[in-house]
């Protein structure tokens, strides 16, 4: 797999990581289940703090293919996506990212928490229930205090289960990590207005890999 060739490709990778993580949030909230491979990609990315490229954060281009397909479907249908709540959730996380970056103390606590948890994640795996619970607690103790809060809708049966809520919070942390990466790569909401065609081209290029 070839590395991203230009900044817009990097933004597309980060955006794919964001939307595929949030698609898992929606799926877990509605069904109590997640795609194991996509879940692992999301949670592994949380611990790759010192990665040198977007693809390294997610593993490889194949790992973000589900997100690329989601982006392509959204753009191809001019926003008429199958899951109308997914774009709204993405916008909420992007707004939260702005506050998170400005709140240096919160960002520091999150990084310290991830560094402390990293050895356990390395030993047990990032999707182990104990790791999910710890990530969920970290999110609840830090990010959940920021405004605007990310509101997740779903089946009350699953949203009432502590393990499911922890898993959702853990994946939201991964989505926030992707949103931060997207901004670091120069991403902004203007991409969807002024660079839409080029962004679609970057997505299509990755789908052909």
Show me where the domains of the chain are located: 7-207
Question: pLDDT tens digit string along 3-58?
Answer: 445 677 899 999 999 999 999 999 999 999 999 999 999 999 999 988 889 999 99
Question: pLDDT tens digit string along 183-208?
Answer: 999 988 888 777 788 888 889 888 88
Q: What is the CATH number of domain 7-207?
A: 1.10.3890.10
Find out whether 158 and 32 touch, Cβ atoms under 8 Å: yes
Q: What Rg do the C-alpha atoms of the chain give, in angstroms?
A: 16
- pLDDT of res. 209: 58
- pLDDT of res. 3: 43
Question: pLDDT tens digit string along 121-164?
Answer: 999 999 999 999 999 999 999 999 998 899 999 999 999 999 99
What's the whole-model pTM score?
A: 0.93
- pLDDT of res. 74: 87
Helical axes 85-102 vs 104-124, angle rounded to 10°: 110
Q: Per-residue pLDDT for 1 more than 50?
A: no
Q: pLDDT exceeding 90 applies to what percent of the chain? A: 75
Overall average pLDDT of the 74-96 stretch: 83
CA distance 144 to 80: 30
CA distance 96 to 147: 7
Q: Per-residue pLDDT for 110 more than 90?
A: yes
């Amino acid at each position: 797999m070839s590395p991203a060739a230009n900044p817009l490709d990097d933004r597309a990778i980060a955006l794919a990581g964001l939307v595929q993580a949030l698609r898992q949030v929606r799926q877990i909230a509605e069904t109590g289940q997640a795609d194991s491979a996509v879940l692992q990609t999301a949670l592994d990315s949380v611990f790759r703090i010192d990665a040198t490229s977007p693809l390294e954060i997610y593993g490889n281009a194949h790992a973000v293919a589900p997100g690329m397909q989601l982006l392509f479907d959204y753009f191809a249908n001019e926003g008429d996506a199958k899951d109308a709540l997914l774009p709204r959730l993405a916008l909420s996380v992007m707004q939260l990212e702005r506050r998170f970056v400005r709140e240096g103390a919160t960002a520091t606590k999150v990084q310290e928490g991830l560094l402390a948890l990293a050895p356990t994640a390395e030993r047990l795996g990032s999707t182990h229930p104990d790791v999910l619970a710890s990530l969920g607690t970290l999110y609840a103790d830090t990010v959940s205090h920021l405004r605007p809060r990310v509101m997740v809708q779903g089946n009350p049966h699953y949203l009432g289960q502590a393990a499911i809520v922890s898993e959702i919070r853990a994946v939201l942390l991964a989505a926030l990590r992707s949103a931060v990466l997207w901004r670091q790569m120069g991403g902004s909401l203007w991409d969807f207005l002024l660079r839409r065609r080029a962004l679609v081209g970057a997505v299509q290029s990755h789908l052909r890999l």
